[in-house]
């Protein structure tokens, strides 16, 4: 029973482990359910105290009280959702199915609490007279709008229906993610020595480790982790095996049976359309874009459509070259999607006289981590100190103290780099704690999750260029969380509009390939020598190589996402709609979407990027222009510009309108041309 849990003493809510972290040694899977129930009850009591307060609403007794409420719930939630993504099991998954709808009911009740909204509304109507500072005014306005967009003005029947929709969507999102994880976990293609011709040593080592983890020591496993699937598709000389792996990868979530996501997607799209209509929006995309830089589906298409046309042209041109290579290699087969990466790598070798496997020995995981830290020190003055032997959610996770230039502690950074069957695919950043100044304040505890192939014991983990970029990308998000300097929790760190949140991460990727960074950190795993300048030059010259393929697979996903959500209703057969949309777009049958519908976790395993996958490209317009600002000074670590970047982008969170923040840094808003040039499309 909830009453049996002492929230003031439980290790899930009172963090008394080393460095102020939770004491993970005292947390068991069986602890979560009771603590969640108690924390929900405690938060309900806090909300009742705020909404039932007889005093005139003030910023302190209403807005601040609302922002600071639910601390115990925040603590248990942050640990649980970390576990659910990074190290799950059947017990955690069962809890996830139970907790997701409970949380949805809880927050629906808060957003539809009439007395609470009345207090927020009174403050909102008096906002000009309150003489608020800019950040507090923005928080008040955003809070009021969030209440309205969450149904605060609906009648009783509308509120009841919206709460039911939200609860069902929450459960469906959980089911989608668990189904996808099951398909990824349960599929492996086991191979023997005779099957692995052409594979470089780094990939053979990773596949051997993956096979051993699955009880097949002495063999090699192709898994559906990108860190194995993509290099296997790139280097395997066995076309039949490339086809098997391709079909398995693209059919995740669409294999029939209990883990099939077809019906889950159909129901989610139907409920999202109903939710938008209930809230008086023309479509679910209109609802989701209301609080973004883009504002409307039309603005999104204004960006995506020209890029799509350029990408199709480039891909068609590239495919002619790939056909030529296939013919020269004696292939009589019709060129197919599982041939693209293989022949694209051969074309890279022909054009630039190197292949991906030449770079890997210079991209050691630990060296690239050091490079991430080194760039952060040069730009922002912060430093990192690893602390060994501190228990976290998994032995692979590492803990770093983050310090300011004066040596004072800023927060903590945790990182969990290797793939395992208990971890969902992809890479992400999140927070155990956000950083803010309101009340007693809070120092950020930020973490990164990756899915790199784990090397055998005693060997260094080697990354591809794309994986190294992913590490820099997610660390850019982490910096957004760690450098935050705002007062209010709801606008701290990455709490910004969806199409602005990728700017700090995508911008940070640029520093990976700065020659001085490569010279210092891209050292050969065996000789310790820096990457030769000739190889660096080839790599930089090849940066836009394959742009047609990469842009088509990404933009197709963004356009399908928008097609699903910009219509007023929902398709009865989403997979048929996906196929029809791609046909209308003239999608080449030799390239697959980066994320097909049944495994498009960004938009269906929760609500994070629904009608928002375009935002990576929207932010790319900003990041290309932002890095150009450094290039224009002739100093890629220009101190004055780095300080403007820190203050207005990384530290400012959502405290101001993103357009205002960007102009404060750059002096103007950008046009898409720099992004298209960066991608090699013009």
Sequence-distant (6+) residues with CB within 8 A of 653 are: 480, 484, 485, 486, 491, 492, 493, 494, 495, 496
Tokens of 471: 């590490």
Q: Which of 552, 578, 558, 500 is nearest to 301 (CA)?
A: 558
Do the bridges between strand 445-452 and strand 409-418 make them parallel or antiparallel, or are there none, so unpaired? Answer: parallel
Q: How far apart are CA 637 and CA 647, in angstroms?
A: 15
- Is the Cβ–Cβ distance between 51 and 119 less than 8 Å? yes
Burial class (CB in 10 A: 0-12, 13-18, 19+), 83: buried
Main-chain phi, psi angles of 430, to 5 degrees: -155, -175
Q: Is the dihedral of CA 356, 358, 363, 364 positive or negative?
A: positive
Q: Which residues are known catalytic residues?
A: 474
From residue 447, alpha-carbon distances to 239, 261, 341, 412 in Å are 39, 29, 32, 8
Tell me which residue has tokens 């009021």. 144
CB neighbours (10 Å) of residue 614? 29
Q: How far apart are CA 79 and CA 100, in angstroms?
A: 14
Q: How far apart are CA 41 and CA 20, in angstroms?
A: 25
How many angstroms separate the first and last alpha carbons of the chain?
A: 63
Sequence-distant (6+) residues with CB within 8 A of 669 are: 659, 662, 663
Q: How far apart are CA 334 and CA 332, in angstroms?
A: 7
- Three-state secondary-structure class, residue 100: helix
From residue 401, alpha-carbon distances to 17, 108, 444 in Å are 14, 37, 11
DSSP for 464-488? -HHHHHHHHHHHHHHHHHHS---S-
DSSP for 125-165? HTTTTTT--HHHHHHHHHHHHHHHHTTTTS-HHHHHHHHHH
- Is the Cβ–Cβ distance between 76 and 15 less than 8 Å? no
- Three-state secondary-structure class, residue 244: helix
From residue 157, alpha-carbon distances to 164, 274, 456 in Å are 11, 14, 59
């Amino acid at each position: 029973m909830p009453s049996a849990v002492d929230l003031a003493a439980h290790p899930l809510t009172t963090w008394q482990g080393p460095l102020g972290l939770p004491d993970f040694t005292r947390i068991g899977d069986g602890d979560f359910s009771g603590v969640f129930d108690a924390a929900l009850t405690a938060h309900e009591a806090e909300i009742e105290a705020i909404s039932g307060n007889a005093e005139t609403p003030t910023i302190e007794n209403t807005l601040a009280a609302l922002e600071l409420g639910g601390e115990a719930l925040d603590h248990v939630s942050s640990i649980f959702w970390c576990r659910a993504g990074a190290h799950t099991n059947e017990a955690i998954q069962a809890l996830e199915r139970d907790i997701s709808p409970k949380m949805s009911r809880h927050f629906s009740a808060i957003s539809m609490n009439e007395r609470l909204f009345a207090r927020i509304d009174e403050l909102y109507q008096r906002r000009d007279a309150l003489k608020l500072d800019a950040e507090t005014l923005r928080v008040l306005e955003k809070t009021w709008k969030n209440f309205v967009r969450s149904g605060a003005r609906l009648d009783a029947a509308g509120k009841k229906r919206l709460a039911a929709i939200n609860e069902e969507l929450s459960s469906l999102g959980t089911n989608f993610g668990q189904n996808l994880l099951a398909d990824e976990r349960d599929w492996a293609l086991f191979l023997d020595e005779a099957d692995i011709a052409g594979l470089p040593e780094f990939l053979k080592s990773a596949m051997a480790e993956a096979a051993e983890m699955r009880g097949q020591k002495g063999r090699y496993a192709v898994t559906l982790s990108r860190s194995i699937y993509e290099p296997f598709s790139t280097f395997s000389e066995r076309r039949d095996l490339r086809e098997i792996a391709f079909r398995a990868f693209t059919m995740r979530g669409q294999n029939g049976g209990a883990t099939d996501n077809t019906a889950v997607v159909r129901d989610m799209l139907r409920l999202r359309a109903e939710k938008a209509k209930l809230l008086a929006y023309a479509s679910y995309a209109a609802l989701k874009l209301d609080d973004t830089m883009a504002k409307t589906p039309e603005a999104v298409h204004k960006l995506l459509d020209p890029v799509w046309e350029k990408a199709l042209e480039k891909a068609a041109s590239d495919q002619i070259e790939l056909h030529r290579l296939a013919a020269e290699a004696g292939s009589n087969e019709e060129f197919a999607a599982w041939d693209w990466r293989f022949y694209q790598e051969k074309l890279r070798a022909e054009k630039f006289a190197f292949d991906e496997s030449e770079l890997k020995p210079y991209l050691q995981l630990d060296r690239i981590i050091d490079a991430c830290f080194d760039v952060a020190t040069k730009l922002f003055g912060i430093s990192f100190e690893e602390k060994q032997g501190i228990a976290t959610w998994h032995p692979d996770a590492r803990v770093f103290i983050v310090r300011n230039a004066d040596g004072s502690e800023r927060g903590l950074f945790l990182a969990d780099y290797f793939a395992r069957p208990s971890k969902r695919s992809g890479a992400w950043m999140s927070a155990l704690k956000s950083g803010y100044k309101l009340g007693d304040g809070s120092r950020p505890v930020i973490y990164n999750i990756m899915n790199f192939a784990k090397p055998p014991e005693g060997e260094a983990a080697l990354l591809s260029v794309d994986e190294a970029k992913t590490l820099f990308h997610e660390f850019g998000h982490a910096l957004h969380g760690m450098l935050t300097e705002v007062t209010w929790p709801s606008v701290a760190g990455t709490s910004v509009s969806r199409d602005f949140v990728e700017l700090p991460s995508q911008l940070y990727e640029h520093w990976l390939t700065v020659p001085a960074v490569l010279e210092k950190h891209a050292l050969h795993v065996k000789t310790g020598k820096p990457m030769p300048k000739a190889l660096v030059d080839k790599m930089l010259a090849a940066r836009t190589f394959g742009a047609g393929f990469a842009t088509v697979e990404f933009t197709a996903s963004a356009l399908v996402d928008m097609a699903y959500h910009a219509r007023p209703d929902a398709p009865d057969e989403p997979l048929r709609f996906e196929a029809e949309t791609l046909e209308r777009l003239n999608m080449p049958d030799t390239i697959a979407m980066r994320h097909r519908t049944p495994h498009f976790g960004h938009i269906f395993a929760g609500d994070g990027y629904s009608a928002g996958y375009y935002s990576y490209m929207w932010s790319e317009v900003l990041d290309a222009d932002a890095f150009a600002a450094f290039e224009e000074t002739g100093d890629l670590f220009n101190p004055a510009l780095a300080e403007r970047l820190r203050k207005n982008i990384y530290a400012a969170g959502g405290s101001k309108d993103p357009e205002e923040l960007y102009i404060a840094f750059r002096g103007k808003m950008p046009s898409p041309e720099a992004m298209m040039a960066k991608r090699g499309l013009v």
